[in-house]
Amino acid sequence: MHHLEIRNLSSAYGSTEVLRDVSLTADKGEVVSLIGPSGSGKSTLLRVLIGLTPPTKGEIIVAGDQIDYHSRKELKALRNRMSIVFQQYNLFQNMTVLRNVTIAPIKTKNRPRVEAEHEALALLEKVGMADKKDAYPEELSGGQQQRVAIARALATNPEILLLDEVTSALDPERVNEVLDTIRALTHEGITMLIVSHEMAFVREVSTRTAMMDDGRIVECGTPVEIFDSPTEARTREFVSKILKH
């Protein structure tokens, strides 16, 4: 049984179809990356998975349970097992770093504050942000904010972690600190879906890579297959354009 299974998923903004018949699977602990040009539907796929954009068709199955995205109860249960890290970090500006990390466990999982803070500090330690626990997001650099956002996403103990272009909004010199943080997580058994334009990183950490274009998955395989010997013309074109630089 796959940990995450997406079957013939479609989604639309108004009358514009942004996902067309997407099927993809991820086994427990796998790191599946999504590559492709802007507007190809990669981020939308993650948004549909976490329930921010409604699907129009298809099935999403997590650990054998099909998720009904119109049921508030099921969506809530799903978000207890799945977290997302956004491109723009989306940290709560009115809360300190520590509060950002503890608020979901305390308020949505009813964890005791002391316990939640204890775990949050351990997570902040892991992403190298423990010394900034009392800072507000606006006092931090983009890279630091993104590391806090990763700690926040992990605070609810997700089985599945979605990473949506987490380094795209960062200064080039801040990219590596975030990639190092994610790299360290790939060995912890969390199933990950990574949308990224960092091809070298994708190639290094992924167990499988899916190439998306125009709302469809064009090709899916191991990073070696996708980057070295793609079978589809569209993948070849995209990969060669990116790797030339």
Partner 1 sequence: MFDQITEQLPLFFSYHNLVFILQAAGRTLSMTIIGCSVGFFFGFIIAVIRQSSSRPLLIFRLLSIVYVETFRRIPFLVILFIVLFVIEPLMPGTSLFGIATVSVCLLSTAFLSEVIRSGLESVPAQQIEGARALNFSALQTLVMVVLPQSWKVIIPPAAAFIVMFIKDTSLASQLGVIELTFAGKMLVNRGFSSVLGFGVVLICYFALSYPLSRFAAYLERRLASS
Beta-carbon count within 10 A of 234 CB: 18
Q: How would you class 77 by CB atoms within 10 Å of its CB: exposed for 0-12, middle for 13-18, buried for 19 or more?
A: middle
Of the candidate residues 2, 79, 183, 197, the single one contacting partner 1 (CB under 8 A): 79
Beta strands at 208-213 and 216-221: parallel, antiparallel or unpaired: antiparallel
Beta-carbon count within 10 A of 99 CB: 18
Alpha-carbon span 205 to 199, nearest angstrom: 10
60 binds partner 1 (CB under 8 A): no
**Please, what is the minimum distance in Å from the beta carbon of residue 107 to partner 1?**
6
* Size of site (CB under 8 A) for partner 1: 21
Closer residue to partner 1 in complex, CB, 99/203: 99
Of the candidate residues 133, 152, 174, 208, the single one contacting partner 1 (CB under 8 A): 152
Alpha-carbon span 133 to 123, nearest angstrom: 11
**Please, what is the minimum distance in Å from the beta carbon of residue 18 to partner 1?**
16
Of the candidate residues 39, 52, 200, 204, the single one contacting partner 1 (CB under 8 A): 52
Our CA dihedral for 131, 133, 137, 140, rounded to 10 degrees, sits at 0
Q: Which stretch binds partner 1 (CB under 8 A): 26-34, 55-63, 87-95, 192-200?
A: 87-95
63 binds partner 1 (CB under 8 A): no
Closer residue to partner 1 in complex, CB, 36/51: 51
Q: Compute the C-alpha angle 106/191/109, nearest 5°.
A: 15
90 binds partner 1 (CB under 8 A): yes
Alpha-carbon span 116 to 128, nearest angstrom: 18
**Please, what is the minimum distance in Å from the beta carbon of residue 103 to partner 1?**
7
The tokens of 205 are what?
Answer: 């950490």
Of the candidate residues 92, 122, 157, 200, the single one contacting partner 1 (CB under 8 A): 92
Contact residues: partner 1, CB under 8 A: 50-52, 76, 79-80, 83-84, 86, 88, 90-94, 103-104, 107-108, 152, 156
